[in-house]
Structure 1
Amino acid sequence: MAKANHERLSILRRKQVEQRTGLSRSSIYLHIKNGLFPKPVSLGPRAVGWLENEINAWLAEKLEARNKA
């Protein structure tokens, strides 16, 4: 088993990611394909999720880019 991480990890499902980011399902997967969005974590044969801290970091990056413009 992997070493315990002191940071609390939380998984967001696709609907939660859509709500947080305002992106549609197809936009999320297009951004992933283009290397512009965090990759999902496999949770099972037909289930994926995203690490909440990676989604938060992506959102913070977008805000920073907006504020620099």
Structure 2
Amino acid sequence: MSDASSQSTLLRRPEVLRRCGISNSTLHRLINAGDFPAPIQLGPRAVAWIEEEITAWIEQRIVASRAQGGAA
């Protein structure tokens, strides 16, 4: 395991939804479309996301929005 992954913070679903400002159904749609980082399996019924991947996704959305002239 690399040093970066050993220091990664894992985020559970409620925190991911809060940070991204999206609904649970939107989260599933984005993952299925390959437009959102996939979760990692923690256990049989538990998943989490790597914080750095979520932060990068948010930053990409900001850059894309700014390139298109921002929100209406």
**Superposed pair shares fold, TM > 0.5:** yes
Alpha-carbon deviation of 1:6? 3.7
Q: Residues 16-60 of structure 1, C-alpha deviation per residue, up to 9 Å, x if partnerless?
A: 001000111111011000000000000000000000000000000
- Compute the TM-score of the two structures, normalised by the length of structure 1: 0.90
CA distance in 1, matches of 2:4, 2:27: 29
Higher helix fraction (1 or 2) = 2
| Matched residues, number | 67
- Compute the TM-score of the two structures, normalised by the length of structure 2: 0.87
Partner of 1:64 in structure 2? 63
Alpha-carbon deviation of 1:67? 1.2
- The equivalences for 1:1-69 within 5 A come to 3-6=1-4, 8-69=7-68
Q: Which runs of 5+ in 1 are unaligned?
A: none
Q: Which runs of 5+ in 2 are unaligned?
A: none
CA distance in 1, matches of 2:18, 2:25: 14
Which of structure 1's runs of 4+ aligned residues deviate more than 2 A?
A: none
Percent sequence identity over aligned pairs: 39
